[in-house]
Structure 1
């Protein structure tokens, strides 16, 4: 089998999304999700396409990478090829050679699902463990009760509120109302919801965006945040439960979220909301 690496164009994005959706499964370790692309759509489809790399065989996408940063690739593969040695070795060669246009020279990292042969192949080539992440899953089978917040679905008329909570929660000015409108105009947002949680005084104190991969497939929380002035009052737990409930309404089989293991407060919040943590996933890194 011959593998070809490509940088897709905007016209290729529907095929990329369809492939990624089809790979989502509750029986697989947490992996790169269509919601990650949906959230990244806020920069616009042209810039998003420039951050993607696909590997194809016989005209079919078999692996997909997203440059979350110039030196960090989030990577997953078709499930049936996750243990394929030829694909793993081709991916390693492309990741290690800057001339192939995937990762730059020097220090660079990659996110790979647990259980993929590529992890072993990269380790054998000198890549080493880096940042630890905790994946968490809510199976959506039991009751979901939101206490302490009034939840509303954010739309164009409340985009300013939604984005203001996010900017405070993450101490970042990047998520503007204009970026929300670009995100919401993207095709993946048809299977997404932005939620805002208001306290008893009607103040917007928390927000989340959820992404479905289609009925019967796991959905993703990306991102979840509490306004900096309203932390320590259980709002993170409440908005996380509301996010899981929204995914169930969208037909998701489970709700997924992943957070740095060092962020112990976030891990505890998701567990309090009924999420169950799985085995840690370690990023892999090469270079000094």
Structure 2
């Protein structure tokens, strides 16, 4: 049968999450993780369903994409079909033509596994390798993680306003609210997630992070992590990062992973100080018009 692409609808989101969870393993680019859908879920189940695309063949899910904003498609495939030519050609066809509804016209980018055949098929037709690299980072969790010298709390619904306030004060232009936290927490991926708060010696919440497991023995991710803009420069970023790794270890994750723009030198340094190792840079595929 031919490969088809679909919007899953709210009822089909759990199927996409399950596929992404199943595909996570050590040594395989995590490009799109169940936690990425979990963090996007803050906008609601309907908005998340509208942003997800699923490619199938004979009923089996081969690839899942997330329209992360108006101009970026974050895409991954089942590990065993990364080099499948039929899938690569279908993915390329779907993203080249705006009328297919996967990406709009104009400048757009695709984040896809570096070992996927799509990386070789798509360049041309106006597509090229983006100039701005990203740095993936990873921390192995097979060894015990030493708790940081910072009071850490795993929060529940009652602390959602505090967590939202710290996240909002960590990112310029953030519109995150306690209501969005509750919406995010209602999503299927949150069953494997924890939200942490870090407190200084005065009892003020100064750092926050969400961690997302994909199940025991699989890599987990941090998304997002932030330090309140009024409390930077005291090592809180390192401390909350270590706490995040410890939380993922408690959830059974085999490693902790994240990605950040390589230009954000301070962020890369913070994660490295928290025991994360820098991996080879990756770049998006971009179409300028």
For 1:179, the equivalent position in structure 2 comes to 180
Query: Counterpart in 2 of 1:109?
Result: 109
Correspondence for 1:97: 97
Structure 1, unpaired ranges of 5+: none
Q: What is the TM-score when the length of structure 2 is the normalising length?
A: 0.97
For structure 2, the 5+ residue unaligned runs are: none
Secondary structure at the residue paired with 1:104? coil
- Post-superposition offset of 1:188: 1.3
Once the two structures are superposed, the pairs formed by residues 209-248 of structure 1 within 5 Å of their partners are: 209-248=210-249
Query: 2:173 and 2:100 mapped to 1: Cα distance?
Result: 33
Contact 1:148–1:200 (CA<8 Å) still a contact in 2?
A: no
The equivalent of 1:145 in structure 2 is: 146
Runs of 4+ residues deviating >6 angstroms: none
Provide, for residues 212-250 of structure 1, a one-character-per-residue CA deviation record: whole Å limited to 9, x for no partner: 001110001000000000101110000000000000000
Q: Deviations over 1:3-33 (max 9, x none)?
A: 0011111111111111111111111123110
Counterparts of residues 65-76 of structure 1 (less than 5 Å) = 65-76=65-76
Asked if 2 retains the 8 angstrom alpha-carbon contact of 1:89 and 1:121, the reply is: yes
Query: Do the aligned residues in 1 keep the contact of 2:126 with 2:288 (CA within 8 Å)?
Result: no
| Equivalent residues of 1:148, 1:235 under 8 A apart | no
Query: Residue in 2 aligned with 1:189?
Result: 190
Answer whether contact 1:74 1:110 (CA < 8 A) is retained: yes
Give the TM-score, by structure 1 length.
0.97
Task: Give the superposed CA RMSD.
Answer: 1.1
259 and 173 in structure 1: CA distance in 2 versus 1, 3 angstrom threshold: closer
- Any conservation in 1 of the 2:56–2:62 contact (CA below 8 Å)? yes
Per the alignment, residue 24 of structure 1 pairs with 24
What is aligned with 1:120? Answer: 120
1:66-113: per-residue Cα shift (whole Å, max 9, x none)? 000122100001110001111111100100011111011121110011
What is the aligned residue count?
288
What pairs up with 1:198-277 in 2 under 5 angstroms? 198-277=199-278
- What secondary structure sits across from 1:32 in the alignment? coil
- What corresponds to 2:4 in structure 1? 4
Name the counterpart of 1:55.
55
